[in-house]
A and B are shown apart, each in its own frame.
Chain A
Amino acid sequence: MSSTETLDHAARSMALVDYRDAGALKSLPTRNGFGEGLIEAGTLNKDVLAICADLAESTRMDGFKKAHPAQYIEIGVAEQMLVAMAGGLAAVGKIPWIASYAMFNPGRSWEQVRTIMALNETNVKIAGAHAGVSVGPDGATHQAIEDIAIMRVIPHMTVVVPCDSVQTKKATLALTERFGPVYLRFARDKSPIVTTDATPFEVGKAQTFRAGNDVAIVACGILVYYALIAADELAREDGIDARVVNNHTIKPMDEASIVDAARACGAVVTVEEHQVHGGMGSAVAEALAAKAPVPVEFIGVQDLFGQSGDPIELIEYYGMGTAAIKDAARRAYARKRG
């Protein structure tokens, strides 16, 4: 539908696009934002390197390769090498961004990530491309839906999952500046851009994209847009006023904002393109169990593997679409009212 009213104050203070107006929305893959941010980071600081494992175009490192050939390193299909070599480069003062599919880095390289990047605290930045089932036709072997879990469990790690390509660019720049091991996760398929250049972004600071006090929908990644649409429809269809929180930094998580939302709303739905076990929803549930126990419903993949298919088809099939989010919100809302 095209909007007749203006967006609420939360959305306006975040300078969001009017996401209700399908005609006004532009879509781009989040990986494009990484590519743009990386080029800029390489211009700002010549110690920034991009190391690629035979996936320059897919990971969008190809732009950096053109812009900064002297700062670009190709090592072939060798993801463990990617992490270990980057650890060495970081040890001598470089800021290496390393990119592959999330399934292979950090998927294949996890122990190197834990020891060399985290335990040994080196300034290595991982870009995990093609995360989630929205990878599509490549199928389960290439759909990383466990990566948030295996990264957020590592001490000292920073884990960021931006909501659109504009935010991914900001996150790339911010994470380049932040010392220490970092994991940035993004997706393959194009997805609606809800933020603008004017939208603030700070690592570790969750963002309220829609005001509301009946139920809090805490989302990350490309499903933030789905959460906003679900919230809008819930208001019209059920009179349920949902708060939508973009919980882009899963580690260190903005517990204060999450606890605030839970206390104000009394019920929470978490939304992520990841297994329900161990991911962002689990991080939220851990925090709330300790500090503000309220009913929580989890949107994500329910302990299954992905499969080949069309991205949207898969998001729907695995219960992560707008209808599923609305149902979960209704359940959470009913549970809080007993």
Chain B
Amino acid sequence: MQTLTPERRKELELKANDVREGIIRSLLAACSGHSAGSLDMADIFTALYGFIMRHDPQQPDWPERDRLLLSCGHIAPVRYSAMANFGYFPVEELLTLRKFGSRLQGHPERLKLPGLETTSGPLGEGLAQGTGMALGAKLDHDDWRVYVVTSDGEHECGLHWEAVMTAAKFKLDNLTCIVDRNFIQIDGSTEDVMPLEPFADKYRAFNWEVFECDGNDIGQFIEVMERAKAVKGKPQVIVANTVPGKGVSFMEGDYTWHGKPPNKEQADVALRELEATRERILASV
């Protein structure tokens, strides 16, 4: 089990701030795209690429790599920004997001960009594919792991629960599902659109090992992920409580930022706030 030193933690927090900056810049350049979920998952993607996963940006098809699937493909900007900030491609390429000819399609396409494990956007399909990958690893006695990032809204899709059942049947302890529990979706609060609570109990009833954490606290997230990795005989879910739009004050907690990019003025304010956050992290002990 790795331990997170305070220095390392600070580095990761600075990196998460860079990831957020990349999200804002790319969304501004694209003039469309999804702000809230992308921002709220910046800490988790930073922890995954920067601490948790076995991966090599120089060798995206390394057979021994851990597999990271983004099931809720609409928050592609966070994955792209994390990939760029961890060396998969130049950060400047983020400005091609959603443009004609770009490798950074509006929703991630595996055939366009090395390092993506699948094509996603249509919700609810990631965990089923992750289940297949994790089962494949078991059949071959491989030791790499599978991480599937899902949104809370996509828990309304039937296929997701078919995968939840199946992963438990095959005792896929090499599979971890991370849920962006931000309580929003397009038409409003998840609990108004389609009540999902008691959320964690649903997974427990399906024989999963359940962890909860503050998804915007890198230290907490890493700690529960390390515990999840140690679980034997069961797939694990991390219910990561996040604040939609995290890091940009005027977006935080507001569902209307689900599928909207900032305009120039808003992006300027956002970038200034992120700059202030950077100063704060640097000054912290």
Contact = CB atoms under 8 A, between A and B. Distances in A.
Interface of A: 52, 54-58, 74-78, 80-81, 103-104, 107-108, 136-142, 307-310, 313-314, 317
Nearest to B125: A108
Interface stretch (B8-16, B44-52, B79-87, B149-157): B149-157
Interface stretch (B97-105, B210-218, B274-282): B97-105
CB-based closest 8 A-B pairs: A76-B194, A141-B121, A309-B100, A76-B156, A139-B106, A137-B98, A139-B105, A138-B106
Interface string B17-31: 000000000000011
B186 interface: yes
Interface in B71-126: 73, 98-102, 104-107, 109, 119-124
A137 B109 contact: no
Given A76-B194, A308-B100, A141 B122 contact: yes
A94 B107 CA distance: 36
B122 A139 contact: no
B109 A81 contact: no
B33 interface: yes
B100 A77 contact: no
Contacts, number: 95
A103 B106 contact: no
B158 interface: yes
Given A76-B156, A309-B100, A137 B187 contact: no
Nearest to A81: B158
Contacts of A52: 187
A195 to B, nearest CB: 29
Contact of B158 (A78, A107, A313): A78
Nearest to B73: A141
Contact of B98 (A57, A78, A80, A308): A308
Nearest to A75: B194
B174 interface: no
B187 A54 contact: yes
Contacts of B33: 137
Contact of B185 (A77, A103, A141, A313): A77
A140 B121 CA distance: 9
A311 to B, nearest CB: 11
Contacts of A78: 156-158, 194
A310 B30 CA distance: 10
Nearest to B192: A74
A138 B100 CA distance: 11
Given A54-B193, A57-B186, 20 more contacts: A54-B186, A54-B187, A58-B186, A74-B187, A75-B194, A76-B190, A78-B158, A80-B158, A137-B30, A137-B33, A137-B98, A138-B98, A139-B105, A139-B106, A140-B109, A141-B106, A141-B119, A308-B98, A309-B101, A310-B100
B156 to A, nearest CB: 4
A91 to B, nearest CB: 21
Contact of A55 (B100, B109, B157, B186): B186
B121 A308 contact: no
A137 B29 CA distance: 12
Interface residues of B, number: 33
B59 to A, nearest CB: 26
Nearest to A104: B122
Nearest to B74: A138
A139 B106 CA distance: 5
A55 B187 contact: yes
Given A54-B185, A77-B153, A141 B120 contact: yes
B18 to A, nearest CB: 24
A237 B158 CA distance: 55
A69 B90 CA distance: 49
Contacts of B166: none
Given A74-B193, A314-B100, A317-B100, A141 B109 contact: yes
Contacts of A308: 98-100, 102, 104-106
B266 interface: no
B32 interface: yes
B156 A77 contact: yes
Interface string B151-190: 0011011100000000000000000000000000111001
A139 B98 contact: yes
Contacts of A313: 100
A309 B31 CA distance: 11
Nearest to A56: B187
Nearest to A305: B109
28 contacts: A54-B185, A56-B187, A74-B194, A76-B153, A77-B124, A77-B185, A78-B158, A107-B122, A136-B32, A137-B33, A138-B107, A138-B121, A139-B106, A139-B107, A139-B109, A139-B121, A140-B109, A141-B73, A141-B107, A141-B109, A141-B122, A142-B106, A307-B101, A307-B105, A308-B99, A308-B102, A308-B105, A309-B101
A56 B190 CA distance: 14
Contacts of B158: 78, 80-81
